[in-house]
C-alpha cells in the first residue's frame, strides 16, 4: 500500500487553467499555521523557442518559490472527476489485514480493471462488526498525466491526494466542530460537492462545469479579448440581468451551470439517502463573486455556512476559499494526519525520497562533526582541569602534612634503598607530574604513614582547676577590686570540673574535652547577666566553639561551659 510521508512543513499545490496556487503550512506541536499563500500566472513559453524555459524562473518570487519546492514536502491533488469514491464495509479491524485485502475488495467497485487502478482508503469508523472505509481510486493514465503536468514547472509532487480528500481536510481545519456538511467547490477548473462527517470523507459528486468555461463564454459574448479587462468585467457584471436574458450565450451557460450545481448537490443527497440538504461550506473562485454565486446556488443559499476564522489566522476568508485545495492538500501532509491519501505508490512511487532530506542530513552530519570536535576539545580541557585539581590537592596534602615537595621527591627517589643516594636527584616539577605519577607517590606516602606507629597524647594541655579558679576569683565581674571589703558580686556555691572526652587505645583520634559546671549566687540580676556576658566574651579559658549553657532558679544560677584544648596531637 501507499507509503505515508509526513513533515512539519508542507507545500500544497493546485494548477488550474489560469493559475498556480500554493499554500505553505507549518506545524509546531499541535499548532497549525498558514505561513503563506501563493498565486502565480505562469504563461507558456513561446512555441517557436527551442529551449525549455520554466515560466516561474522569469520572476524573483517564482525563483524563490521553486527553491522552496525543492526543500519542502510537496503535495498536489488530482481532479475530483478523475477520482472514484465508494464506501466499503469490511469485516476486519487490523490495518495490515485491511491493506492485504483492499485491492480484492475494491475490484467490484471499480468500472475499470484493478490492474489499471491505484487505490487507497480512509478509515471512517470501526465497530464490533468490522471497519467502515471510504475507498478512493484513480486510473493510472490519469495519475501519470497529473504528474507529468508539473514537469514544465520543474516540480514533482511527493504526495498526490484527491481534491475531495483535500477539501475535507480544509473543512476540518476551518470547521473543527461542525456537524456533517457538504463542501461545494466552484473552482476555476472543476465543480464538485463533497460530504464530510466528523472530518472524514464519505462521498462526493463532481462535474465538468467550471468558472473558467463560464468566463470564456462571457468573453466571447461580450467580445472582450484583453485578460485584465475580462477579469474586471467578469467581477463587476450584473449577473441578475444576465440571467434574465433569453438570447445571449452567457445567460444560457449561466442557467446550465445553475442546474448543474443543483444536480450534483441533490444527487449527493439522494446517494446518501438524506431528507434535506445539510449545511454547505463554499470554496473555490466562484465563492468570490457574490452576485454570480447567488445565481448559481439559488435557493441553496439558506444552507450556506459562514465560518468564523481562527484568531491566529492572518488571511481573509476569500483567500482561504480560493486556496482551499492547496491548503487542504498541505494539511494532509502534516505530521500524524490520520486520514492521509497518497496515490504515489507502486510504479508511481516518488523516485527521490531522499532528495528533500539531503540538505537536512548534510547539516545534521556537519553539526555532529562540530559537536564531536567540541566534545573532544571540552573533554580534553576538562581532563586537563581535573589533572590540575589533582595536582593542587596533592600540593595541599603535602602542606597539611608539613612535608616539603623536595623532601617527598627525595624520599620517593630513594624508596627501596637501605641507604639514601648521595648523587644529585633530578626533581620533577609538580606541574609535570602525570596522574599515574601522583598515584604512585600517594601510594608511597600511604605506606610511609602506615609504617608510623599509632600515637596519641596521654598528657592533655587544658586549663587546670587551680588556674581556672584563680581566673574566676580575680575576675572583675566576680569581685569588686575598687571596693575592698565589699561582698563579691558572684558567690560560687558549687564547682564541678570533669573530663568528658579523651583519647585511649580504642579511640586514638578522640580529643580532650573538659566540662565545667558552676553554681553561684549573684548580688543581683545585673551582676549575673554581666558574668554571663564575660563567659561569652573571648578569654584564655573558655572554648568559644562550645555552648555556654545557663539556667537560673531565683538567685541561684548555673553555668555550663567547655575549656579550650591546646593539646598537640600527632
On whether both 207 and 285 belong to a single domain, the answer is yes
Same domain, 158 and 216: no
* Residues 165 and 27 reside in one and the same domain: yes
Give φ, ψ of 248 to 5 degrees: -75, 155
Q: What is the pLDDT of residue 85?
A: 95
Q: Could you tell me the residue range of the domain that residue 416 belongs to?
A: 362-451
DSSP 566: -
Instruction: Give the bridge partners for 109, in sequence order.
Output: none
End-to-end Cα, the chain, rounded Å: 84
- Do residues 16 and 143 both lie within one domain? yes
Q: Please, what are the averages of pLDDT over each run of 10 residues along the chain (570 residues)?
A: 82 87 91 92 49 63 85 94 94 90 92 93 92 95 94 91 96 90 93 94 94 91 88 89 84 93 94 93 92 89 85 88 95 91 91 72 86 90 87 85 81 74 76 84 81 80 92 86 77 92 87 93 88 90 90 88 89
The gap from C-alpha 150 to its chain's centroid, in whole angstroms, comes to: 34
Judge whether 460 lies within some domain: no
- Does a structural domain hold residue 320? yes
Sign of CA dihedral 410, 411, 417, 422: positive
Order across the sheet with 83-90: list the strands: 83-90, 130-139, 117-127
Integer-rounded Cα radius of gyration of the chain? 48
398/322 same-domain check: no
- Residue 49 forms part of a structural domain: no
Residues 207 and 128 in one domain: no
User: Which residue is associated with the grid cell 468490522?
Assistant: 130
Residue 302 contacts residue 280 (beta carbons within 8 Å): no
The verdict on 239 and 288 lying in the same domain is yes
For 195, the enclosing helix (H) or strand (E) is strand 191-197
Quick one: pLDDT at residue 418? 67
User: From CA 137, how far away is CA 119, in angstroms rounded?
Assistant: 4
- Domain boundary pick from 239, 274, 306: 306
Q: How far apart are CA 425 and CA 413, in angstroms?
A: 7
The dihedral formed by the CA atoms of 202, 205, 211 and 214, expressed in degrees to the nearest 10: -170
Backbone angles phi, psi at 192, to 5 degrees: -150, 160
Q: Provide the grid cell at 113.
A: 480493471
Nearest to 74 by CA among 161, 144, 190, 201: 161
Q: Is 559 exposed, middle or buried (0-12, 13-18, 19+ CB in 10 A)?
A: buried
> At a CB cut-off of 8 Å and minimum separation 6, what does 319 contact?
37
The most distant pair of C-alpha atoms in the chain lies apart, rounded to whole Å, by 145
The domain boundary, picked from 451, 484, 519, lies at 451
Provide the domain count of the chain.
4
Within a domain: 222? yes
What integer pLDDT is reported at residue 160 of this predicted model?
A: 96
Rounded Cα gap, residues 496 and 364, in angstroms: 79
- Distances in whole angstroms, Cα of residue 270 to Cα of each of 124, 444, 519: 20, 99, 111
pLDDT of residue 192: 95
Q: Is residue 274 a part of any domain in this protein?
A: yes
At which of 323, 340, 355 does a domain end?
A: 355
Q: Which three cell numbers stand for residue 313?
A: 489566522
Task: Please name the helix (run of DSSP H) or strand (run of DSSP E) that holds residue 562, with its range, or none.
Answer: strand 556-562
By C-alpha distance, which of 236, 169, 163 is closest to 205? Answer: 163
563 vs 497: CA distance, rounded Å: 10
pLDDT at position 404, please? Answer: 85
Phi, psi of 212 (to 5 degrees): -65, -40
Rounded-to-integer distance, Cα 58 and Cα 45, Å: 10
Q: Are residues 447 and 543 in the same domain?
A: no
Grid coordinates of 397:
596534602
Does one domain contain both 443 and 499? no
- Does any domain span residue 403? yes
**8-state DSSP, 217:** H
Note the pLDDT of residue 47: 42
Looking at the fold, whether 490 and 445 belong to one and the same domain comes out as: no
CATH at 498: 3.30.1360
CATH at residue 129: 3.30.420.380
In a domain, 338, yes or no: yes
Would strands 200-207 and 549-553 be described as parallel, antiparallel, or unpaired?
Answer: unpaired
Q: Do 192 and 169 sit in the same domain of this protein?
A: no
426-435's contacts with Cβ under 8 Å and 24+ in sequence apart are 430/391, 430/394, 430/395, 430/405, 431/391, 433/391, 433/394, 434/387, 435/387, 435/390
CA distance 25 to 333: 9
Full strand arrangement of the beta sheet holding 20-28? 31-40, 20-28, 9-15, 73-78, 159-162
Coil, strand, or helix at residue 292?
Answer: helix
Listed in sequence order, the DSSP H helices in 401-536 are 405-413, 435-451, 465-473, 525-536
- C-alpha to C-alpha distance for 97 and 1, rounded to whole angstroms: 11
Regarding whether 139 and 82 lie in a shared domain, the answer is: yes
CB-CB contact of 72 with 188 (8 Å): no
Q: Is residue 145 part of a domain?
A: yes
Distance, in Å, from the CA atom of 417 to the CA atom of 410, rounded to the nearest integer, reads: 12
Backbone φ and ψ for 182, nearest 5 degrees, come out as -95, 150
Amino acid at each position: 500500500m501507499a507509503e505515508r510521508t509526513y513533515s512539519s512543513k508542507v507545500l500544497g499545490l493546485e494548477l488550474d487553467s489560469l493559475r498556480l496556487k500554493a499554500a505553505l503550512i507549518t506545524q509546531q506541536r499541535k499548532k497549525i499555521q498558514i505561513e503563506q499563500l501563493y498565486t502565480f500566472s505562469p504563461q507558456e513559453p513561446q512555441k517557436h523557442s527551442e529551449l525549455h524555459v520554466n515560466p516561474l524562473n522569469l520572476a524573483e518570487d517564482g525563483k524563490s518559490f521553486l527553491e522552496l519546492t525543492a526543500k519542502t514536502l510537496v503535495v498536489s491533488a488530482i481532479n475530483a472527476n478523475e477520482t472514484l469514491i465508494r464506501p466499503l464495509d469490511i469485516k476486519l479491524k487490523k490495518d495490515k489485514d485491511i491493506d492485504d485485502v483492499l485491492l480484492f475488495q475494491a475490484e467490484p467497485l471499480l468500472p475499470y480493471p484493478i490492474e489499471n487502478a491505484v487505490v487507497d482508503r480512509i478509515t471512517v469508523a470501526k465497530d464490533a462488526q468490522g471497519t467502515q472505509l471510504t475507498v478512493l481510486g484513480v486510473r493510472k493514465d490519469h495519475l501519470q498525466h497529473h504528474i507529468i503536468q508539473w514537469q514544465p514547472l520543474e516540480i514533482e509532487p511527493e504526495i498526490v491526494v484527491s481534491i475531495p480528500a483535500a477539501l475535507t481536510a480544509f473543512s476540518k481545519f476551518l470547521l473543527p466542530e461542525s456537524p456533517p456538511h457538504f463542501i461545494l467547490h466552484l473552482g476555476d477548473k472543476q465543480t464538485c460537492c463533497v460530504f464530510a462527517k466528523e472530518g472524514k470523507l464519505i462521498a462526493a459528486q463532481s462535474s465538468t462545469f467550471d468558472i473558467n468555461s463560464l468566463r470564456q463564454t462571457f468573453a466571447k459574448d461580450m467580445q472582450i479579448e484583453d485578460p485584465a479587462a475580462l477579469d474586471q468585467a467578469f467581477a463587476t457584471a450584473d449577473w441578475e440581468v444576465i440571467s434574465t436574458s433569453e438570447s445571449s450565450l452567457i445567460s444560457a451557460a449561466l442557467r446550465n451551470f445553475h442546474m448543474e450545481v443543483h444536480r450534483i448537490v441533490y444527487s449527493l443527497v439522494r446517494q446518501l439517502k438524506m431528507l434535506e440538504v445539510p449545511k454547505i461550506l463554499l470554496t473555490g473562485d466562484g465563492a468570490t463573486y457574490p452576485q454570480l454565486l447567488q445565481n448559481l446556488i439559488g435557493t441553496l443559499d439558506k444552507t450556506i455556512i459562514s465560518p468564523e476564522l481562527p484568531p491566529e489566522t492572518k488571511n481573509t476568508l476569500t483567500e482561504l476559499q480560493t486556496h482551499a485545495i492547496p491548503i487542504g492538500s498541505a494539511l494532509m501532509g502534516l505530521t500524524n494526519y490520520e486520514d492521509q491519501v497518497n496515490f504515489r505508490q507502486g510504479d508511481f512511487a516518488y523516485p527521490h525520497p531522499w532528495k528533500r532530506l539531503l540538505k537536512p542530513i548534510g547539516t545534521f552530519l556537519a553539526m555532529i562533526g562540530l559537536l564531536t570536535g567540541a566534545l573532544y576539545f571540552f573533554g580534553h580541557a576538562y581532563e586537563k582541569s581535573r589533572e590540575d585539581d589533582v595536582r593542587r590537592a596533592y600540593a595541599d596534602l603535602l602542606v597539611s602534612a608539613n612535608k616539603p615537595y623536595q623532601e617527598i621527591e627525595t624520599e620517593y627517589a630513594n624508596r627501596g634503598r637501605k641507604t639514601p643516594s648521595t648523587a644529585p636527584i633530578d626533581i620533577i616539577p609538580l606541574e609535570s607530574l602525570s596522574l599515574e605519577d601522583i598515584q604512585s607517590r600517594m601510594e608511597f606516602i600511604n605506606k610511609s604513614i602506615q609504617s608510623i606507629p599509632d600515637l596519641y597524647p596521654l598528657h592533655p594541655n587544658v586549663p587546670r582547676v587551680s588556674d581556672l579558679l584563680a581566673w574566676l576569683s580575680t575576675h572583675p565581674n566576680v569581685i569588686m577590686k575598687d571596693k575592698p571589703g565589699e561582698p563579691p558580686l558572684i558567690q560560687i556555691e558549687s564547682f564541678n570540673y570533669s573530663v568528658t572526652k579523651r583519647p585511649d587505645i580504642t579511640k586514638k583520634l578522640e580529643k580532650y574535652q573538659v566540662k565545667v559546671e558552676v553554681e553561684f549566687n549573684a548580688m543581683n540580676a545585673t551582676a549575673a547577666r554581666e558574668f554571663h556576658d564575660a563567659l561569652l566574651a573571648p578569654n584564655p579559658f573558655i572554648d568559644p566553639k562550645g555552648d555556654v549553657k545557663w539556667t537560673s532558679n531565683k538567685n541561684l544560677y548555673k553555668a555550663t561551659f567547655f575549656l579550650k584544648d591546646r593539646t598537640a596531637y600527632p
